[in-house]
Amino acid sequence: MKKTRILVVDDEHLIRWSLEQNLKKQGYDVLTAGTGEDALRIAREEQPDLVLLDVQLPGLNGIQVLEKIKENDEDIVVIMVTAQGALETAVTAMRLGAYDYINKPFNLEEMAIVIKKALETSDLRREVASLRSEHKKFGSPNIIGKSRHMANVLDMMQKVAKSEASTVLIQGESGTGKELVAKWVHFASSRSEKPFVAINCAAVPATLLESELFGHEKGSFTDAKVTKKGLFELADGGTVFLDEIGDMDFGMQAKLLRFLEDRNFRRIGGTKAISVDVRIISATNRDLLKAIEEKNFRNDLYYRLQVIPIYLPPLRERKDDILLLAQHFIDVFNKEFNKCVKGISGLAEKMLADYNWPGNVRELKNVIERAIILGNEDTLLLEHLPLEIVAKSSASAVPQTTTFKLPPEGVDIEEVEKELIRQALENCDWNQSKAAKKLNLGIDAFRYRMKKFGFLK
């Protein structure tokens, strides 16, 4: 994981050294500069995440450096270090885009808190900007599918986006695209200019989830050195996506239910009630009704969450969409890896269409990505597919009017393809045109494989 990079700019060597050692102990990657000119060069070449910038510098002063830094990268976080009482300079710096200022002599612990808060704010801004840039992408249905199941899903999504429904529950197996649906609903709604914030309830310990959602006040517990806003507060006016809601701790479920009832809460350690307007979209791959029976999920919370339910079918129930999705991912990865794969061979299409896809759309995406990376041809071939797909699909990939024997389990992919070519020829009395048609291959592609496997000299 890339470390956060901080540039310390001060003309006093002892101060630079002291800050560098202290920040390195906190886990940051630290760069230093003693002049404004050096600071601008390092900022341009190294692109730090945050700059601690002294105002009094030889040559270019801190205000001039701040202006030039912001001209090159307006998103970079700059904290000014000023002499005690230089309020006018601090105000000028804030107007030019500085995040905050710290007076000399400074307290290292207080500086650490300001830096942490600045970086958290910057991360949120970047996330919101990134999500807003996706607005066009999600402004019209970007869900790939022509099956009856997906037509129903698209219809429901459009109705939800236009409505003022405050809670939506998306259910479906892992890999079916629940977060994609949640994003589409958000960006197609009147909330699109406000934040979309996601959290995986299964990935956050129960002891921390309350703080993540509701925030906490400074001093409310041992490590609460600064007041922190929770996701509900940060997403006011927008959408909070609670992924894997079925894994939420039972006690936390009660607190979430209370919030859903009146849309206000208190931060941990706080006394003031905070009201927010957020749409809650929850998602789970668990059977919540079964979880209710097993006393692992609250019955009242379930009915509060599923005011609008959306069910995403697994890929095996929408076979008509498999090749459509495959071609979509080919187009995506062609651009990403500068490839020019134009289509899929007939035999590979059959293998893809007849495989059950336990990992759903996510698994299909990964398979196509692998094939695009490893292949050099302009067509995706059987040999580019993982062995498990070929082995599990072979029995149903061949025509039902012809009897084929499968090769032993675990053989090489090319051996499977060779065996299918041989069996097709034998079943068609070695008529190449008929055998090619049986396997849904063009005659040229079929003859290429015959030659490849020694059936044609």
Question: Which residues of the chain does CATH 3.40.50.2300 include?
Answer: 5-131
Choice among 20-24, 140-144, 440-444 with the minimum mean pLDDT: 140-144
- 151 compared with 282, residue with greater pLDDT: 282
Q: Residue 134: which pLDDT band, with cuts at 50, 70 and 90?
A: low
Q: What is the pLDDT of residue 402?
A: 43
CB 189 within 8 A of CB 196: no
Question: Which residues of the chain does CATH 1.10.8.60 include?
Answer: 316-389
**Region label for 264, one of left (φ > 0), alpha (ψ between -120 and 50) or beta (otherwise):** beta
Angle at 334 between CA 329 and CA 339, to 5 degrees: 145
- Domain 398-457, CATH: 1.10.10.60
Question: Which residues of the chain does CATH 1.10.10.60 include?
Answer: 398-457
Cα-based torsion angle of the residue sequence 393, 343, 174, 214 in order, rounded to the nearest 10 degrees: 170
Q: Which CATH superfamily is domain 5-131 in?
A: Response regulator (3.40.50.2300)
String of b and e for 248-281 (b: at least 16 CB within 10 Å)? bbeebbebbeebbeeeebebbeeeeebebebbbb
CB under 8 Å to 306, separation ≥6 — which residues? 167, 169
Tokens of 205: 């310990």
The residue to which tokens 């600045």 are assigned? 118
- Indicate if the pLDDT at residue 86 is higher than 70: no
Question: Which residues of the chain does CATH 3.40.50.300 include?
Answer: 152-313
Q: What is the pLDDT of residue 401?
A: 43
CB atoms within 10 A of CB 104: 15
Q: Residue 84: which pLDDT band, with cuts at 50, 70 and 90?
A: low
Three-state secondary-structure class, residue 56: coil
Concatenated DSSP letters for 305-331? HTTEEEEPPPGGG-GGGHHHHHHHHHH
Concatenated DSSP letters for 69-110? HHHH-TTSEEEEEEETT-HHHHHHHHHTT--EEEEESPPHHH
Classify burial at 435, counting beta carbons within 10 Å of its beta carbon; exposed 0-12, middle 13-18, buried 19 or more. Answer: buried
Q: Mean pLDDT, to the nearest integer, of 100-125?
A: 81
Three-state secondary-structure class, residue 196: strand
* CATH 1.10.8.60 for the 316-389 domain, yes or no: yes
Share of the chain above pLDDT 70, in %: 88
Distances (CA, A) of 407 to 83, 169, 178, 218, 315: 80, 45, 38, 67, 27
Could you say which architecture CATH assigns to the domain 152-313?
Answer: 3-Layer(aba) Sandwich (3.40)
Mean pLDDT over all residues of the chain? Answer: 86
Q: Mean pLDDT, to the nearest integer, of 268-286?
A: 95
Q: Mean pLDDT, to the nearest integer, of 374-391?
A: 83
The residue to which tokens 């949640």 are assigned? 182
pTM above 0.75?
no
- Indicate if the pLDDT at residue 409 is higher than 70: no
CB 48 within 8 A of CB 7: yes
- DSSP conformation class of 54: E
